[in-house]
Structure 1
Amino acid sequence: MLSLLVGLTVLAAGAAGAVWWWLQQPLLLEKPSVELSIEPGTAPMQIAQAWVGAGVRTDPRFLYEWFRWSGQSKKIRAGSYEVHAGITPRELLDKMVKGDQTLEQLRIIEGWNFRQLRAAVAAAPALKQTLASMTDEQVMAALGAPGQAAEGRFFPDTYAYSRGVSDLTVLRRAHALMQKRLDSAWAGRSDGLPLRSADEALILASIVEKETGAAADRGLVAAVFVNRLKAGMPLQTDPTVIYGLGTEFDGNLRKIHLLTDTPFNTYTRGGLPPTPIAMPGLAALQAALHPTPSKALYFVSRGDGTSQFSDDLAAHNRAVNKYQRGR
């Protein structure tokens, strides 16, 4: 009886030693790197099978028993993972428990319009594409904002995402962040602004974003448009006219465009356009709601990215002659 117990003990010790050895050994991979996306709610056995199916050369039952025996199988996080040659079973589990994912990035640029954003989303790597057959209105409804114009409603930033997630997931984050930034900026706005709502602030900020050539001028650009709104003057800003032309704009703004009425032509219509014309960044939002104190009503490009600001038309005409006509 004693010899049997000793034999069983030796066998158990040998098995434990074999398991310990296996946990420290690099897993064989069918290629230099293996990628796997784990959806929320995936069972540990399915995860083990998925790794083998993706290119990890081992028995999935070994991986599953290791996940279970470790006591951490329920701590495995959904996400996108990439492993390379040399990874051990222990390191593989640690990676999934820590959520050490392989992430891609989508960068949304200040001043983009929604058409440009949709193109960037369509070209984003490893993003599950669902928007291609949707209209802008359907996209906004899918994001939980039915009836809201898509333009200007997504905050320019860099968004990291797991491979295989939906494009709507990333847009939802950008939409929520813009609303958060807008609400915060509106709550802290300066007194006396000729703006009736946060939406109007967003529209003005989008114009400031498109009209600003140098960051140092942003507050004065905002001041010009705020002063014009207070005075009842038309905004007369070219970017709104260009936006109204849409895909018909060929890069050359002509006099006929300034005279042709559209909802976005701020030469033919007073006040703000009906929607934003681009996605403003935080600096443009802040400038629109905290314009630099100034009486300026006009500005013209100096040709180096900066602008010359004038309080009256006579001074503006002199600036135009100097910087635009070389007189």
Structure 2
Amino acid sequence: MAVFTPVSDDDARELLQRYDLGDLVSLRGITAGIENTNYFLNTTRGEYVLTIFEVLTAEQLPFYIELMGHLAEGGVPVPHPQRMRDGQRLTTLHGKPSTIVTRLSGGYEPDPGPQHCALTGETLARMHLAAADFPIRQPNLRGLAWWQETVPHVLPFLTDDQATMLRTTLAEQTAFAQSPTYAALPAGPAHCDLFRDNVLFDGTYETPRMGGFIDFYFAGCDTWLFDVAVSVNDWCIERETGAFRPDRLEAWLKAYAALRPFTAQEHEAWPTILQAAALRFWISRLYDYFLPRPAQTLKPHDPRHFERILRLRRETAAPQLP
């Protein structure tokens, strides 16, 4: 973790006095994570996760926390932020914002098969439909405006060939965002970071069951097609090359479209949005690699992975949407 806030059993007992979640049974720190401190919190009434936010402020958090609550109460398998006795979902611990959410079952699958892809595609469609009437609006904070702001900072670290592809792709995305096709794309709250390690599965590899989606702290309002593209650019590829695995991609997209069919505008936009999803993560990984935050202790991801994916999406024909 980049930052870690120690929490004692006595701290947890005091915190639980604000809730109606039973008495403390056990508290155990979770080593995974980059920006938040997390603990498994077991009580006499259930299993939960305590999150202490090290970067996001109390003013920034309501969109994410209330979105998870809205989705959970709509039957989508996501962590459910618990309300305190005063009805609020957010509180503070050691002077930092914190929340307690339900603990989902299962673990993440690093090498998903078609069944995992189908379950994930179906669940993302359910999430989009359930989020359609969510009243709070917040843009994707890592969307086009952030790309435009960040690209000048990373260009000095690139070769001429890399810089040309980055500038060209960004210019194309900027122009496309002004088009009637883009304006007609279905949009709303989106996860925006649905990689393999943000989905949990129960069951066996051959017969998986959906455990749920986690880590909503990059969520924002965007086109739902962008959410799909981010996901398949991770779930449905050969890791080494970035090329699509047709069996995984077909399973993922068909399961999604069975619940929310793709529109004519989405069919038209698909090749461009696939590039947008690759561009977003190439830029963020370039930034984290060359300009890491002072407190960042984890090794940044290799930005060349999404450079390869973007180049492939630009040079090869996009697979058809169902």
The TM-score, its normalising length taken from structure 1, stands at 0.26
| Higher RCO structure (Cα 8 Å, ≥6 apart) | 2
Between Structure 1 and Structure 2, which shows a larger proportion of strand residues? Answer: 2
Larger radius of gyration: 1
